[in-house]
Amino acid sequence: MLGFLAARQTGLDDPLRLRRAESTRRVLGLKLNPDRDVERIHGNGINTIDIEAIEGRYMLSGGADGVVVIYDLENYSGKTQYTCKAVCSIGRSSRYVHKFSVETVQWYPYDTGMFVSSSFDKTMKVWDTETLKPAEVFKFEGNVYSHHLSPIARKHSLIAVGTKNPKIQLCDLKSGSRIHVLQGHKAEVLSVQWSPRYEHILATASADSKVKVWDVRRASGSLFTLDQHNGDKSKASSEAVNTAHNGRANGVCFTGDGLFLLTTGTDDRMRLWNSATGVNTLVNYGKVCNESRKSLQFTVSRGCSPEFVFVPCGSSVAVYALHTGELITMLRGHYNNVDCCVFHPAYQELYSGGKDCNILAWVPVLRAADVEEKSACTNEGAGGHSSVNPAFQDTWSTAAESHRSSGRAALKNFEDMEFFNIKSSAALIYDEFIQNADSRTEKWFLMSSPVPQTIIILAYIYFVTSLGPRIMENRKAFDLKGILIIYNFSVVALSLYMCYEFIMSGWGTGYSFRCDLVDYSDSPQAMRMAATCWLYYFSKFIEMLDTIFFVLRKKNGQVTFLHVYHHSIMPFTWWFGVRFSPGGLGTFHALLNCIVHVVMYTYYGLTAMGPSYQKYLWWKKYLTTIQLIQFVMVTSHISQYFFMKDCPYQFPIFIYIIGLYGLIFLFLFLNFWYHAYTKGKRLPKVLQAQTWAHHTNGVMNGNANHDKDE
């Protein structure tokens, strides 16, 4: 470092050489900073981040939950340890929020008063930062994978957009319309980026394995298509001619000077190209793990010598030397796959986001002080004066007496503030949790908070397990034959209606039975699905009457743990379903459950009508088979999620809950099947009936033995 300073002082070196040397040293020293956190807002994976170039202060992030967040990276606290707070967010409570996963966010290059986001809901929105409302909305025919504004354009205001349609869309900010398309690709366009050197040059990457470079002023097609074999057809198969990768090309990025272009593909390769000629430089980066079927956001350093490439690679960020392909280091810190990263050139910092919902800050390790600097600091400290920046001073560097006084004051106030801090923390956690909820269902009955339903469920458990049996202990059992008949056939009618609504609001009118996302719009279809989900949730409280009828009829032996657990857990978990994801693939099990309830409550109603109807119940033995088929179908359907590479379902936690619930009840019914139909067949008929009744009351909905009361 002293050599660089001396050469700069004597004029031997270019003024920028010292800056490049220090920038390079800082990049080589990037580490996960334990003192800097980024506030966690997203409830699902983070797909994209961007830092504005005007002040280098504000950062955008977009997630698979459809939420867009603006962070302030500035440290105002003066402390070494601090959290980058979210200034504002466009969350589920906003009527303008994206319905599906946000794939790309970008600041307007010349002003922080505007930014652009694009999403799988087939829209790209231009936002006013001040009001957090879209000033313009562009709608497309397919999912939007990527968009980009030119960082240097003065003669045009075009946004290049890559969608599921092979045509690249050019949208004009001035006119608010799509003014041109670029044709040449044969599959969805996964990544687009403008050149930082020439404002009319655009690079695009597609699932057809091709990367094309365009001059948008030309109408005759692309300038050239990148060829990994540089035109040597002897090295390429017929399918690989004029392809940049042997798999899907899902990432493009220009170097800071625009002279080179980097591309990534699902063939686990990254390639460096001359952006002027399209020649493959044949730099070997080795295996660069890339399984993403969507756009991969990677970045290149600026102001370093040599430059470095930062590429998401599994749960790490790989750092390569740009022109040699050498793997410098792996930045490890995420708990799940990394999907995006962005370089902050002003401070040589890196920010990365992943499926673990975290944004991590990688900052340079501070250079150790020289011997002379240490001595100077020591002397100044002894004299009572310090030239050290207060932001880097620790809190115990003052006099010992002052420190003891602060400690006594803190200890005195601790007990008074402890309970308040606990309450405040709980309130903050709840606020952070609920901000991603669906604003459409917020005002619906029982939806404003989970507290009312929790009170109802606890009261139900207390009544059927303690209070009810004690009240009925010295009383005669109620004769509820008429009530049971009306109740059971009413549930049949309600279940039929819910079946019809689930089918008409999605499962029979557009759902694919695969990766079906939640539609958060205010369209009639989306609102119909949300209303049906709420009705299904509310029906779970009605079905609690099953257990209450047991208690009133003094059938306490049928109030088993499994029975009470089933009737308690269903409404509790479905509150979160209606509040956060009323629709999509998470509602398939509700449709099946309604169909099964039509059959089962029909049986319960006929049973309640008395022995004269027993001849119509020959199909009783198939009830368990129907239940088993239900849970096999639920488990099979929900398990698809784990085999789909890219299913941006907004709240994956519900997938795990449904899958676990299906497996638990599949096991319980298999256990029941064994005891009732396999093991039970070896017993006398009276004991078989007792075995069947005992296990049915544990896992079915509780009305299986009305015939015993007649």
Distance CA 608, CA 602 (A): 10
Distance CA 291, CA 536 (A): 38
The SS3 assignment for 570 reads helix
Q: Report whether 116 contacts 134 (CB < 8 A).
A: no
Distance CA 126, CA 137 (A): 6
Q: Strands 316-321 and 327-332: what pairing?
A: antiparallel
Distance CA 39, CA 46 (A): 13
- Which positions ≥6 away from 649 have C-beta within 8 Å? 64, 515, 517, 518, 584, 585, 586, 641, 655
Distance CA 170, CA 148 (A): 10
Of 344, 566, 567, 706, the catalytic one is: 566
Distance CA 329, CA 362 (A): 13
DSSP 8-state secondary structure symbol assigned to residue 356 = T
Q: Report whether 246 contacts 209 (CB < 8 A).
A: yes
- List C-alpha distances in Å: 354 to 305, 316, 377, 436, 649: 28, 9, 41, 18, 15
Distance CA 562, CA 479 (A): 25
Distance CA 91, CA 474 (A): 56
- Which positions ≥6 away from 537 have C-beta within 8 Å? 446, 571, 574, 575, 577, 578
Q: Is the dihedral of CA 697, 699, 701, 707 positive or negative?
A: negative
Please report, to the nearest 10 degrees, the dihedral formed by the alpha carbons of residues 142, 192, 68, 309 taken in order.
Answer: 140
Q: Is 229 a catalytic residue?
A: no
Tokens of 149: 């504004």
Distance CA 186, CA 248 (A): 12
- Which positions ≥6 away from 259 have C-beta within 8 Å? 197, 274, 275, 276
Distance CA 208, CA 505 (A): 35
Distance CA 427, CA 430 (A): 5
Q: Which residue type, as a one-letter code, is found at position 315? A: S
Q: Is 295 left (phi over 0), alpha (psi -120 to 50) or beta?
A: beta
Strand locations in 68-132, DSSP E? 68-72, 82-84, 86-90, 102-107, 114-119, 123-128
Q: Which residues are catalytic?
A: 566
